Amino acid sequence: MLVLYGHNPEDIHTWDDLVDRAPTPDVYYRPGYVRAYALSGHGRPVALLIRAGETQALLPLLVREFAVNGEIVRDAVTPYGYGGLLPLAGTQPVAHETVHDMLFQLRDWARASGLVACTLRLHPLLNQDELWADVERSEDWIRIFPRGETTAIRLGSWDAARRAVAGISKGRLYDLKKARSCLQLRIAQGQELAEDLEFFQQLYAEAMKRVNADEFFFFSPAYYDHLAEELGERLVVITAMSHDRPVSSAIFLADREFAHYHLAASNDEGRRCGAATLVVNTGAEWARQRGCSLLHLGGGLTADDSLWAFKHSFGGTPFFYSYMSIVGNHEQYEYLTSQSGVPWPYVDVHPPAGGAAEPGGRRSIRPSVHAGKKKVVGIGAGGHAKVIIDILSYSPDIEVVGLVELATRLFGETVAGSLILGDDQLLPELLAKGVGLAFIGIGGVSNNVPRAKSFELALSLGFDMINAIHPQAVLAKSARLGRGVCMMAGAVVNPAAEIGDNVILNTHCTVEHDCKIGDHVHIAPGATLSGAVQVGRLSHIGTGASVRQGIRIGESAIVGVGSVVVDDVPDNAVVVGSPARALKMASYK
């Protein structure tokens, strides 16, 4: 094993050259990135060059020292971001025995260096979860912690007509159009960064203070200065401006194959204008022009929260993120996991229910960045609203502040303990008061248009649509959900299924593998869709209906209760019976 030191100019050059020669180099492995994070007080930068047979791998780390109950503890961690072992040369894929040999070397280095542990944030785009899949079961000094999904935009496809990411959702396209009509863009890198970094720091600091974020989420001015100096043209700041005022800004990092949505922030005006959508779309275009294949957006603060829904709505590919701890000193490691006030990853070993995640999809051991509960308003006050309120009650960090409803006779009444506040004219006022999430509490026996209109209204005002997933629902890891999806008790969505925005998956319905469900669809209780069924937007699949594999059901169609569908259903058709036959054509307003 060779150790390269981040303060030694010759080692820095060797380190950077090794990353250049990797099959898939990434900015998070660069000495410039690790040094920037270290220079703002986060540890001493090193990189380990590990060899096992013909295989070589590079591991960038920060060696830290911190005090616990008056004693100094030393460990090593991957810097903020993603990392793990970067394969440099040798047989691909790496054999299990080779991986095990490398981890043995890492454990021995940790012990010889007096480190309690060495913790790696595994890079989701390099499929490192698969590489380490079997090692944890074989050794008690290896601890692996799965932390959920991230998403990345594939840049090979581009919607030239819309000047947008291919696969972007309709809600994001709406925001993009709105933002382009009222905002201006600044794209800065290299020598032009100074003013734009100030804009970003201002917005980011305000955003973190607004949500009472832990100090872990704040970065010193030195961090930004070092990042710009060390990374050069690999860093860009994209800022949306309104009348010469910054309203949204993001830092993007890029290397040869991958770009990353590193840090971002918007103010209230930016959220109302859809500015973040414009910034991300512009970042994707910048990364694409550089020749990158993926723009990694990361994940959410918690599973299926509004941040994840926003990133997921760009139509990206899901990836999976974990971190791994190599324990050098068992006794000290177990002691740290029992103490309060210790840094990541030791608090995260026994996480509380509802644990938060770091910005960009990196799970945090810190308290949630939300000072209190996430506030949600329901639009509609019928029976469907009761069900969603019940589902959300299982999440201790969510508070339903009330409902809005067009029927004035219901004002002041309650639904499942939630007060009907008034009509939808209250929504802008609620948004201004910090109620940033919404759900559609309107059901749909056959006509899903009212639900769709309410959904588009909420998006246009700037609300994020929350997903309501019952604890007894079953959602496959590779399935994809849009925004505002409701999965009731017993609902099943199997692998590679794609669910659009504002879809109701009612009690004990089944959506089999590879199905594609359009926006604003209602799959009623007990309905079964076999594999690879396609359902167009605004359609309704009745209670207990069955649909044969591979069938296409058009837009705004209705499948009657208990029907058995064995042939394709055209747009706007109403079909009933077994086998289902066309009864009439539906007409919606």
Catalytic machinery residues = 513
State the pairing for strand pair 522-523/540-541: parallel
**φ, ψ for residue 434 (rounded to 5)?**
100, 10
CA of 254: how far to CAs of 6, 134, 152, 294, 502, in Å? 21, 31, 13, 10, 34
Distance CA 307, CA 361 (A): 9
In this structure, what token pair is assigned to residue 117?
């542990």
Token digits of residue 395: 């999440």
Q: Is the peptide bond before 345 cis (omega within 30 degrees of 0)?
A: yes
Per-position b or e across 546-557, b if 16+ CB within 10 A of its CB: bbbeebbbbbbb
Structure tokens of 201?
A: 């720091």
DSSP state, 247?
E
Q: Fill in the amino acid letter for 524.
A: A
Contact 542, 559 (CB under 8 A): yes
CA distance 573 to 77: 59
545 and 563 Cβ atoms separated by less than 8 Å: yes
Task: Please report where in the chains the tokens 């204008």 appear, as a residue.
Answer: 273
In this structure, which amino acid lies at residue 284? A
The 3-state DSSP composition of the chain as helix, strand, coil percent (nearest 5) reads: 30, 30, 40
Q: Contact, 498 vs 480, CB < 8 A?
A: yes
Distance CA 84, CA 543 (A): 48
